[in-house]
Amino acid sequence: MCLWREVFVLDQLDKQLLNVIQAGVPLSPRPFQHVAADVGCDEADAVRRVDALRQAGIIREISAIFDAVALGYRQALVAMTVPPELLDQAGQTAAAHPGVSHCYGRAGTMNLWLTLAVSPQSPLGLDNSAALLARLCGATAHAVLPTIKRYKLRVSFDMESGSPAPAAGKTETRGRGDAETRREETEDG
């Protein structure tokens, strides 16, 4: 089977927009007015271009990322053993949980991995939530791997350099097109 995907050609303004929105979209009533000002175009053009990039699959989503630990949530990496014939459905089930931010299949005995965050108001708590989710996924085994130390990696791709790889070794406050790495030591679970 041969799959074809239309190639989306990025112009210089598209690349600038991608660099700016990777660094962060301001929380304001008209965020793309600010984004547009950063790249030197008008707001309508910025919105139209970002929508076209989203429609083409270049941008998957633009969303806020909250620090779950700072909000009192408990989080962990959860590994499950799921029968191979149930893996796709199990992944969809896990991904539908509001506390799951990443979910992916892997080779090996523990073949479904996810990150799970649970509210401090959860009557089940982290371990019981993971156990219930494992049961709903049809897992025959699961392991809850709590965070001991958290290492945050923020990767941005420099769209203007022409390189699809992150520009390693550079750090900036806003991360404009450079890989930014922060290490955070926490005692959260």
Whether 114 has a pLDDT exceeding 90, the answer reads yes
33 neighbors 47 (Cβ within 8 angstroms):
no
DSSP percent split of the chain into helix, strand, coil, nearest 5: 30, 20, 50
Listing DSSP states for 159-176 in one string gives TTTT-SS--TT---SS-T
1-5, 105-109, 148-152, range with the lowest pLDDT:
1-5
Does residue 8 have a pLDDT over 60?
yes
Taking the model in full, what pTM does it have? 0.64
In the predicted model, what is the mean pLDDT of the chain? 83
Distance CA 35, CA 105 (A): 36
Query: Does pLDDT of 187 surpass 50?
Result: no
Tell how far CA 4 is from the center of its chain: 26
Show the CA angle centred on residue 8, arms to residues 7 and 14, nearest 5°.
Answer: 160
